[in-house]
């Protein structure tokens, strides 16, 4: 189909979010973003990279992630294998050949200004944010295995997202600009949908939003659909040429409701 999802140029910022980005740029502090899943926290980094023509370095945090991995990684396994199987002994002796920079390390080393995304920081261990404090403040770090210091040539615009799975340390919060992305009101949501699907019929848009917000008002739902689910659903409706039934039935409900108990409740 002609419409494409999640293109950076289709991203819409609220006035409040735009101001938060400006404050982060002025203060040169990381912007910490919270909000419901699917409200566009991570996509903001793609948009800012597109808008400013700055390269984006992304670090998607996992439960097993260590703070050091965002800076660099010493590939000892590759060095061991090379020591056994390669004839290039000079390469093996030089540890630098086995240092791999992470997203922050690459951004610090870049000659041009950049955007850094540290995505879902609350997935990691509780000490993870504190372990990054010094590097985010000073914009430099030392590779312990070689003693080489990497200092940011240009301070990157750093975005950090959290889904509130864990409370973040107070010391870390003090060093961030904070913004909570509120769930869009219907009028702003209509603008968001139209930016992704500019050819959508007004009648389909109106009825789709009405059905969507009715679902979100159901108090007993465990997982209310977000913006991402809405865009998926509308993409399906457009692709299938579907019309919303007059009796209120919602086709392709699996794009909106992602929980078995919620599905039973809805039905």
| Tens-place pLDDT, residues 80-90 | 988 888 777 78
Cα–Cα–Cα angle for 172, 177, 183, rounded to 5 degrees: 110
pLDDT of residue 155: 93
Alpha helix stretches (DSSP H) within 7-143: 15-27, 43-52, 76-85, 89-93, 103-109, 128-131, 133-138
Tell me how far apart the terminal alpha carbons of the chain are, to the nearest angstrom.
Answer: 31
> In the predicted model, is pLDDT for residue 233 greater than 90?
yes
C-alpha to C-alpha distance for 88 and 131, rounded to whole angstroms: 37
pLDDT of residue 2: 41
> In the predicted model, is pLDDT for residue 250 greater than 90?
no
Mean pLDDT of the chain: 90
Token pair for 152: 């940011």
Quick one: average pLDDT of 151-167?
92
pLDDT of residue 128: 92
> In the predicted model, is pLDDT for residue 223 greater than 70?
yes
In DSSP terms, which residues pair with 162 in a beta bridge? Answer: 34
pLDDT of residue 6: 62
* pLDDT confidence bin for 1, thresholds 50/70/90: very low
pLDDT of residue 3: 45
- Give the whole-number percent of the chain exceeding pLDDT 70: 97
Higher-confidence residue: 164 or 104? 104
Angle in degrees, 0-180, between the axes of helices 43-52 and 15-27, rounded to the nearest 10: 70
- Give the whole-number percent of the chain exceeding pLDDT 90: 67
> In the predicted model, is pLDDT for residue 4 greater than 60?
no
pTM given for the model: 0.87
**Which DSSP state fits 240?**
H
Q: Determine the 3-state secondary structure of 217 from DSSP.
A: coil
C-alpha to C-alpha distance for 145 and 141, rounded to whole angstroms: 12
| Tens-place pLDDT, residues 16-75 | 999 999 999 999 999 999 998 878 899 999 999 999 999 999 999 999 999 999 999 999
| 162 close to 32: Cβ distance less than 8 angstroms | yes
């Amino acid at each position: 189909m002609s419409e494409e999802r999640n293109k950076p140029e289709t991203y819409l910022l609220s006035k409040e979010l735009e101001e938060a980005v400006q404050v982060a740029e002025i203060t040169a502090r990381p912007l910490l973003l919270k909000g419901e899943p699917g409200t566009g926290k991570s996509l903001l980094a793609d948009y800012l990279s597109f808008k400013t023509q700055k390269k984006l370095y992304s670090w998607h945090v996992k439960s097993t992630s260590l703070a050091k991995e965002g800076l660099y990684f010493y590939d000892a396994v590759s060095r061991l294998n090379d020591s056994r199987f390669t004839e290039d002994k000079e390469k093996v002796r030089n540890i630098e050949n086995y240092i791999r920079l992470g997203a922050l390390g690459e951004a610090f080393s870049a000659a041009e200004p950049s955007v850094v995304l540290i995505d879902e920081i609350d997935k990691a261990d509780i000490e993870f944010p504190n372990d990054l404090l010094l590097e985010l403040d000073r914009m430099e770090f030392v590779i312990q295995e070689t003693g080489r210091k990497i200092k940011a040539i240009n301070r990157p615009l750093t975005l950090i997202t959290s889904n509130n799975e864990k409370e973040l340390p107070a010391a870390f919060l003090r060093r961030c600009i904070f913004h909570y992305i509120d769930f869009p009101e219907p009028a702003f949501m209509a603008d968001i949908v139209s930016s992704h699907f500019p050819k959508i019929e007004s009648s389909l848009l109106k009825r789709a939003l009405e059905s969507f917000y009715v679902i979100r008002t159901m108090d007993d739902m465990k997982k209310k659909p977000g913006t991402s689910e809405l865009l998926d659903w509308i993409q399906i409706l457009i692709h299938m040429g579907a019309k919303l039934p007059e009796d209120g039935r919602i086709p392709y409900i699996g794009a909106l409701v992602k929980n078995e108990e919620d599905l039973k409740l809805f039905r």
